Amino acid sequence: MSRKDDLKEVDRAAAEAGIPPAHRRDFGRYIERCKRKGDGGTKNDRGDFTYPELLEKAREFKEQNG
């Protein structure tokens, strides 16, 4: 999967969770931090996230932001 596809999935998950662009940008930072801390996804051995995992993270991110 290309980098473009990865980012499109993040954008789509953020939009589906109701996250506007400025927070979508912050969401990208948040999930990158999760990856680096070992709380990554199961898509590959680098800890990338599957779409359902991204969507779950996006909804969680949105809820926690109040």
Partner 1 sequence: MIIDLKKEVRESREFHLLEAFLGTLVGQRCLKVELSYGGELMLHVGEPLPYSHPKLADEQKGGWILGSRASGWSFLLNDPPFLIESDGQGPGTVEGSAAHALDPGQVEEKVAQLIGSTIIAATLALQPLRRAPHLGVSVFIGFANRSRLVIAPNDELDEEPHLADWELFTPYGMYLRCGPGPVWSYLRSDVLEAPIDRGATSTA
User: What distance in Å separates the CA atoms of residue 36 and residue 26, rounded to the nearest whole number?
Assistant: 15
- Residues 3-62 touching partner 1, rule: CB under 8 A, are 3-4, 6-8, 10-11, 15, 18-23, 25-26, 28-33, 35-36, 46, 61
Q: What percent of the residues of the chain are helix, what percent strand, and what percent coil, each to the nearest 5?
A: 65, 0, 35
Work out how close the CB of 19 gets to partner 1 at its nearest, in angstroms, rounded to a whole number.
7
- Give the nearer residue to partner 1 in terms of CB position, either 29 or 38: 29
**Surface-to-core class of residue 17, CB atoms within 10 Å of its CB (0-12 exposed, 13-18 middle, 19+ buried):** buried
The site for partner 1 (CB under 8 A) is made up of 2-4, 6-8, 10-11, 15, 18-23, 25-26, 28-33, 35-36, 46, 61, 64-65
